[in-house]
Structure 1
Amino acid sequence: MSEIVIDQELLKPAQRQIVVIGGGVIGMSTAYFLAEAGHQVALIEQRRNVAEVATLGNSGMLAAASTTPWAINGMRKRILSGLFSQEAGTILNARLSPSLWRWLLRWTSTPELQRYQLHCERMQRLASYSQHILLQLQQQCQLEYEQSHGLLQLFRSEKELAATAPLQAMLSERNVAYSLLDGAAAQALEPALATARSVAGGLYFPELASGNCTLFTKQLKSLAQASGVQFHFDLRVDAVEPQDGRVALKIGGDILHADAVVVAAGTGSARLLKNLGVKVPLQAVKTYTATAAVKNHDVAPKLALQDNAYKVTMARFGERIRIAGVAELGATDTTIDDKALRTLLKVTQDWYPDAANYHNAQMWTGHIPMLADEVPLVGATASSNVYINIGHGGSGWSMALGAAKIVADQISGRSPEIDIDGLTLARYRR
């Protein structure tokens, strides 16, 4: 293996050598903000480029206000009923794994309303901060990543719609712009729903958006390169160890030293953190996307959509539609599960049946890192100069920029711009 060299030319007094592990949207955002803060940054990724794992299959949702935990009251019942259904938003791929069953028990423990709202508040606090940063970044850098504005969360029954009362109360309390729509109003707002089978109503968020996360991440890479970030691909970090006030990274037979390290390696983060004695309930959850070419513009959606019943999203990427969702628990492979495919196709047929060539869609499946409470972990660890940015689950892009800015501020000795209570490892020590 060739030696990794970090250019040490013209180091500023406050400048530190920082290594970011992971080239997804989380790691890429972290590297960008560290470079913007004046540090000398290297990003290490075991694939050949950025955005080649979970980010590649990102749903495209930039949905700060509707960023909520997947696990809701009755999740165990949903999982069990899914075992006997042809379609299901959550699939249990049972296997004899004690760690998986412990995680499932924590994830599906009946959420009390107060605790559910607490997790929602933490996620939305971070996502709203991220949305604010993204708007600033767009204005400064004129980024174009096939974005569209407006998100419609759809409900199939009056019972589903009525169950959103606590969420609506929280949105109103936080002054989030949204409208409660009946079925007719939802179809008037999105004419492509004219042929939908059943629309009980929806929540419309005019300020939320969607876009191509892979394209965004690669544009951020270009900005980071211009700021001096060095990229090292096809390298796997085997271990991270604090050493004499710095941090040593073991990469094959080589050792790389840095002033600080940020672990943002997605599902691979648990392996690196375990060696440091940092144990968190991080689980690799398999999820799916299908990307289909638009065939009929007259009935293709203009707004991003969230299907509340199946937890499936649909987003417009220019001349394509991306359908994303399904949480398959316990699967370690990347084969396409027939039930997952049927679920995605059912949602497309129910809402926009003639919009795209769904049966010729490009399929993707991969694993996303999800904590049992679904709230990310950011910031320092007990190991000197080792930081984390992990566990963003299916809402990774919605929270990426805010999480990255928090970590960059902490490493730079600055106070984060938002309250980070509940976002750090301290929540596991209470």
Structure 2
Amino acid sequence: MRICVLGAGVVGLTSAYYLAKKGYQVTVVDRQAGVALETSFANAGQISPGYSAPWAAPGVPLKAVKWLMQKHAPLRISAEPELKKIEWMIKMLGQCTNGAYNTNKSRMMMLAEYSRDQFIELRKDIGIQYQDGQGGTLQLFRKAEQVDAAEKDIKVLKALGVPHELLTPEQIAQVEPGLSSVIDKFQGGLRLTGDETGDCYLFCQSLKKTCEELGVVFQFNSDIKSLSVKSNKIEGVVTQLGLQEFDKVLVCLGSYSKELLKACDIDIPVYPVKGYSLTVPISDTNYAPISTVMDETYKVAVTRLGDRIRSAGTAELAGYNLDLPKSRTETISHVVGDLFGQGCDLAEAEYWTGLRPMTPDGTPVVGASGIGGLYLNTGHGTLGWTMSCGSAAVIADIIAGDKTGIDSQDLSVERYKK
């Protein structure tokens, strides 16, 4: 059976791997010249099942208003009027209830924890290396009310059996000695010991080689023009080479999935949320992170990648704009300088931006599309790498007609029709 995977980011690549392992003839099509050259290129470097939570939560609307008035704000909304942006924001606001938050977080945690297990198996199976580390994630609280608010998340972590530790400032300094000189800035922290770190781009480069060994064919520099559907069944994919016929097609195009599917009358509520990152060499390891720290005030992650520091954050609603203005990188620079300024020279930092495909409820869209032979694995937001192996294993099982490793019923696009 011939299967086409659209998209060579981390979600498309892992999907191709799990499908190839089942014996399918897999072709991956992407407009770029190689794998992981868009959203997967310079992400935060986190595999963070413990930090998997929807952005839509009680109290977020009020926080969003305050953020828009701050200099170093985790959220930016462009002034340009855009109907799609407004529609998506309204849907997200509708998810900001206690009931919706608990449902969405439990669903996301289930998929993310399953994905982490798949990562462990993947390393055992193929020995993949990507500057990976298993030092966990440390969520930093600058304010006492943030410590109190964490109790809600801790209840969910306990219910799901996710290992965690609530730390005092003194304990934070023991876990991350590089923060010792600035420990007076924090009221406490939440450590998620099961989280991991690594370089997503290196991961994708290594996994591509394994996929090729399994017979996966890559078509790069291929513009995907449309899907060919006849009598509510997929025929194939139209590129600049014309129609290429396949038995099944899997869409893993992140933020660009929505427009392609719209032509087939499939509406997925995915919006491109722009994020920024910087990568800087470490000059003094005594003042560098050991694993990942997440500054809860600014929603910025700072991760150790070998001899480098990667910092990523900011959520900007600006459509498909990929400009990289200095004003938008000031927040991630500020956090690195504030926490680990003695360990690096920010004048040497390299900056990057990418589009994260967000759904209003935070959960990706994984499953059948409603059109015969057409499947979806997209909308992972900031958790694309975290959920990649899990969602890839799930969709491979669905396509094969096998029993999925977790309950996948509420992962499909059908949940938006209820």
TM-score range, shorter chain: over 0.9
Distance 2:3 2:230 in 1: 15
Q: Does 1:412 align with 2:397?
A: no
Distance 1:55 1:366 in 2: 8
Kept in 1: contact 2:227–2:234 (CA 8 A)? no
Q: Does 1:173 align with 2:159?
A: yes
Match of 1:322 among 310, 317, 321: 310
Q: CA deviation at 1:216?
A: 0.5
Number of aligned residues? 415
Kept in 2: contact 1:242–1:248 (CA 8 A)? yes
Kept in 1: contact 2:337–2:346 (CA 8 A)? no
Look up the equivalent residue of 1:206 and give its one-letter code. Answer: T
Partner of 1:104: 89
Q: Does 1:236 align with 2:223?
A: yes
Distance 1:71 1:355 in 2: 35
Q: Does 1:300 align with 2:288?
A: yes
Distance 2:236 2:196 in 1: 40
Q: CA deviation at 1:114?
A: 2.0
Q: CA deviation at 1:77?
A: 2.8
Kept in 2: contact 1:87–1:339 (CA 8 A)? no
Look up the equivalent residue of 2:188 and give its one-letter code. Answer: G
DSSP-derived class of the 2:343 partner: coil
Percent of matched pairs sharing the same residue: 30
Counting only pairs closer than 5 Å after superposition, residues 24-423 of structure 1 correspond to structure 2 as: 24-109=9-94, 111-149=96-134, 150-196=136-182, 198-243=185-230, 246-252=234-240, 254-423=242-411
Distance 2:241 2:23 in 1: 30
Distance 1:374 1:51 in 2: 22
Q: CA deviation at 1:340?
A: 2.7
Q: CA deviation at 1:54?
A: 0.2
Look up the equivalent residue of 1:341 and give its one-letter code. Answer: T
DSSP-derived class of the 1:372 partner: coil
Q: CA deviation at 1:350?
A: 2.4
DSSP-derived class of the 2:384 partner: helix
Kept in 1: contact 2:85–2:319 (CA 8 A)? no
Look up the equivalent residue of 1:65 and give its one-letter code. Answer: G
Distance 2:376 2:23 in 1: 20
Alignment gaps of 5+ in structure 1: 1-15
Q: CA deviation at 1:133?
A: 0.7
Distance 1:67 1:213 in 2: 17
For normalisation by structure 2, the TM-score amounts to 0.96
Q: CA deviation at 1:339?
A: 3.9
Look up the equivalent residue of 1:372 and give its one-letter code. Answer: P
Look up the equivalent residue of 1:164 and give its one-letter code. Answer: A
Distance 2:241 2:186 in 1: 59
Distance 1:301 1:65 in 2: 19
Q: CA deviation at 1:246?
A: 4.7
Kept in 2: contact 1:242–1:385 (CA 8 A)? no
DSSP-derived class of the 1:164 partner: helix
For normalisation by structure 1, the TM-score amounts to 0.94
Kept in 2: contact 1:151–1:304 (CA 8 A)? yes
DSSP-derived class of the 2:224 partner: coil
Look up the equivalent residue of 1:189 and give its one-letter code. Answer: V
Residues 34-53 of structure 1 deviation map (CA, whole Å, 9 limit, x = unaligned): 10000000000000001000
Deviates more, 1:110-119 or 1:219-228: 110-119
Q: CA deviation at 1:195?
A: 1.6
Q: CA deviation at 1:253?
A: 5.3
Deviates more, 1:396-405 or 1:420-429: 420-429
Q: CA deviation at 1:353?
A: 1.8
Distance 2:391 2:16 in 1: 12
Match of 2:5 among 16, 20, 25: 20
Distance 1:18 1:401 in 2: 18
Q: CA deviation at 1:110?
A: 6.4
Q: CA deviation at 1:84?
A: 2.7
Distance 1:253 1:301 in 2: 48
Residues 165-199 of structure 1 deviation map (CA, whole Å, 9 limit, x = unaligned): 11101111111111111111111221111122501
- RMSD of aligned alpha carbons: 1.4
Partner of 1:8: none
Q: CA deviation at 1:59?
A: 1.1
Q: CA deviation at 1:249?
A: 1.3
DSSP-derived class of the 1:417 partner: coil
Distance 1:307 1:345 in 2: 12
